[in-house]
Amino acid sequence: MEINHSKMYEEPGCFDPNNFTAEGAGSGFPQAVQKQFEENMDLSVDELSYHHHTHQEDAAVSAMELELQKHLAFKVENCDNNTHMLQQVVDDPNQLLSYDHANWNTGDIGFNQDDPEQNGHRSFNINSLPQTPDLLNLFHLPSSSLLPNSSISFANSNHDTTSLGFIKDLPASHSTSVLYDPLFHLNLPPQSPLFSELFQSIPQGYSLPTSRGGASSLFGDERDSSGVTAYQDGDGGMLEFTRDMACIVRRSETGKKKKPFTTERQRREQWNDKFEALRNMVPSPTKSDRASIVGDAIEYIKELLRTVNEIKLLAERKRCVRERSKRHKTEDDAGEDVKNCNIWPLGDPEQSYIGSLRSSWLQRKSKDTEVDVRIIDDEVTIKLFQRKKIDCLLFVSKVLEELKLDLHHVAGGQIGDYYSFLFNTKICEGSSLYAGAIANKVIEVMDREYAAVPPTISY
Amino acid sequence: MDYKSKNLVAERKRRKKLGDRLLNLRALVPRITNMKKETIIEDAINYIQELQENVKFLTGKLQLLEVEPFSEEEANPKREETNTVEDMKKCGIQENVEVSYMSGNKVQIKIIFEKKRGKFTKLLEAITSHGFQLSDTSMTSSKGATLVSFFAEVTYDGTLAVEETRKSLLQIVRSM
């Protein structure tokens, strides 16, 4: 960062260089940087006091801001005892930024000016703090290079008096950043030259891009700091907005325009659409909240895998039977055909599928009916739950006959408003019935019967 | 402050739940392109579509295979049925109907008959058409015989005559 040192020292300031000691360096900042800090603070303080800018100075300021935002600590406040403006920032409760207290050593926030050493020391703890408080510094800087009132035009924002106006409808999330103009209430004169300098590379009508590659601080290009985060005190919640804004400069400067800009809203909508699409693929969705949708999807995928295995196994068996029957026909022994084919499930060394046990399970729900079909080898267990009163036993047993399932055991009856039945059946040999077919057929018949019965008074 | 922290905890739990499930979903899907949350859902959708098409294709194949050999299937049921009648005779089970009066309109009915495909259905049809309302039903079969036991509410007018019920049911069973 090129800093015009000579310019900096021109300004006499209320800044008291005595407050700066070398202690800060002990926190790990390189000496050079620390020196820069002092210089930066010089100038920034001066700006606040004097509101005097030349264009060149602005450039210098903007350049320094890059440093400031990253590294600068409370020192500014500490040294600004006499700065009227800063006090105004500090004292006005409505505009005071509150932030995550946990990240700070307590007591820092109060802008105590009584112990510059102590504060100075603490202020350099920022480096060890997580990113968020790091950039909170921004808001305590008398930074004129932050967004001046309504100088920024965002494609999506209202041109309110508050630059926060557009933030309100954005969701809060951890990975977002906020642009906040801490000084706007101070009614500083618009500093357009500075601003245009900063955003010179942004094309007109630039909409808020979505940050994909991580954010950079608004004014920094090489900074790896995260976006600016601020917390507004009044409502106790976080007003955040994507760090997209922070990417504006970076994006345009690096010339990356891979994707069309997706605003946060669009991103959210796209994501919700995906959830909806997932939900529509699942056969019997119940709740429509995200976690349930994902849960249903997981179960459905498992069911599909089971079905695939089942059908493959059935196909293998079928094919084996056919081949055996072909082979036996050449032997010209029709009577033995049947008997031999009966034995094949047990000891056929050729097909690996045959030896494995067929198992399958799935559930299907419709509006009034719920069916659970489990198949192990040739035994099918069907559980049925129905809400309304119709004579389901008769219909189901008809269906089972159609499907060529031997009914071995039935148990069930009425429980409250529901009918509940359990059917134990066996698949007759050679039938290649799979679980899905059974369930679908049962549900189909049930629904048909419900539709056929006019609504009756249950008794 | 208590409400805030409760809400925070609940919200964190909720988010964690969603995150865990998304990870489980990702574990199931074989082809994942990205590690981002959004793409896992995309990948899952594609995978489900793939599986569904796979199932369709395989069932189609199965149908084709189904068309051919019929001969074996027809041979089997007949063999089974002859066995059942023999078994019943061996064990001394006979067709029977028992009706016991419970209370009010309820009777308990037990029916034993020979196990044959489709008989149960016929029995149900006959029973319901004669006006019996089954409330709890149980059916088991062994040794070639089927036992059906249920509670019924008799709905026809007049005093409930146990013996009459029994006779009419016996008629039904024999006519099946």
In tens digits, what is the pLDDT along chain B, a chain of 176 residues?
A: 677 788 899 999 999 999 999 999 988 888 777 778 888 888 899 999 999 999 999 888 888 777 665 555 455 555 555 666 677 777 777 788 888 877 777 778 888 888 777 788 888 888 877 777 777 888 888 877 888 888 877 655 444 567 777 777 787 777 77
Query: What is the model's pLDDT at position B123?
Result: 83
Query: What is the model's pLDDT at position B16?
Result: 94
d(CA B148, CA A147): 84
d(CA B170, CA B149): 14
Residue A413 forms contact with B (CB below 8 Å): yes
pLDDT for A116 beyond 80: no
Residue A445 forms contact with B (CB below 8 Å): no
Q: B66, A318: Cβ pair inside 8 Å?
A: yes
d(CA A36, CA A244): 29
B125 to chain A: nearest residue by CA? A394
Interface test with A, best of B3, B7, B61 (most A CBs within 10 A): B61
Percentage of chain A modeled with pLDDT above 70: 35
Query: What is the model's pLDDT at position A230?
Result: 40
Structure-token pair, residue A164: 């926060």
Query: What is the model's pLDDT at position B21?
Result: 92
Q: A432, B65: Cβ pair inside 8 Å?
A: yes
pLDDT for A98 beyond 50: no
Minimum distance, in Å, between the CA of residue B95 and any CA atom of chain A: 18
Residues in chain A with CB shorter than 8 Å from the CB of B140 are 408-409
Structure-token pair, residue A4: 């015009």
Residues in chain B with CB shorter than 8 Å from the CB of A339 are none
- Top mean pLDDT of A131-140, A316-325, A374-383 is at A374-383
Q: B72, A413: Cβ pair inside 8 Å?
A: no
Residues in chain A with CB shorter than 8 Å from the CB of B134 are 393, 413
Residues in chain A with CB shorter than 8 Å from the CB of B135 are 413-414
Minimum distance, in Å, between the CA of residue A90 and any CA atom of chain B: 25
Minimum distance, in Å, between the CA of residue B134 and any CA atom of chain A: 8
Q: Please, are residues A143 and A183 in contact by the beta-carbon 8 Å criterion?
A: yes
Residue A408 forms contact with B (CB below 8 Å): yes
Interface test with B, best of A210, A292, A311 (most B CBs within 10 A): A311
Find tokens 């148990």 and name the residue. A411
pLDDT tens figures, A326-365: 777 665 544 444 444 444 444 444 445 556 778 888 888 8
> For residue A131, which of A45, A67, A224 has the smallest C-alpha distance?
A224
Strand B106-114 relative to strand A418-427, pairing: unpaired
Minimum distance, in Å, between the CA of residue A223 and any CA atom of chain B: 24
Residues in chain A with CB shorter than 8 Å from the CB of B51 are 301, 304-305, 308
Query: What is the model's pLDDT at position B17?
Result: 94
For residue A405, what are the β-bridge partners? A427
Residues in chain A with CB shorter than 8 Å from the CB of B52 are 281, 304
Percentage of chain A modeled with pLDDT above 90: 5
Residue A329 forms contact with B (CB below 8 Å): no
Residue A287 forms contact with B (CB below 8 Å): no
**Bigger pLDDT: A21 or A322?**
A322
Average pLDDT, chain A: 60
Percentage of chain B modeled with pLDDT above 90: 14
A323 to chain B: nearest residue by CA? B69
Residues in chain A with CB shorter than 8 Å from the CB of B66 are 318, 432
Residues in chain A with CB shorter than 8 Å from the CB of B45 are 274, 277-278, 281
Residues in chain B with CB shorter than 8 Å from the CB of A305 are 51
d(CA A136, CA A154): 22
pLDDT tens figures, A261-318: 778 999 899 989 999 999 888 887 788 888 999 999 999 999 999 989 888 888 887 7
Q: B118, A271: Cβ pair inside 8 Å?
A: no
Distances (CA, A) of B37 to A262, A276, A281, B15: 16, 15, 19, 12
pLDDT tens figures, B12-58: 999 999 999 999 998 888 877 777 888 888 889 999 999 999 999 98
d(CA A263, CA A7): 41
Minimum distance, in Å, between the CA of residue A321 and any CA atom of chain B: 9
Q: B41, A414: Cβ pair inside 8 Å?
A: no
pLDDT tens figures, A153-181: 444 444 444 444 344 444 444 444 444 44
Query: What is the model's pLDDT at position B15?
Result: 93
A340 to chain B: nearest residue by CA? B72
Residues in chain B with CB shorter than 8 Å from the CB of A418 are none
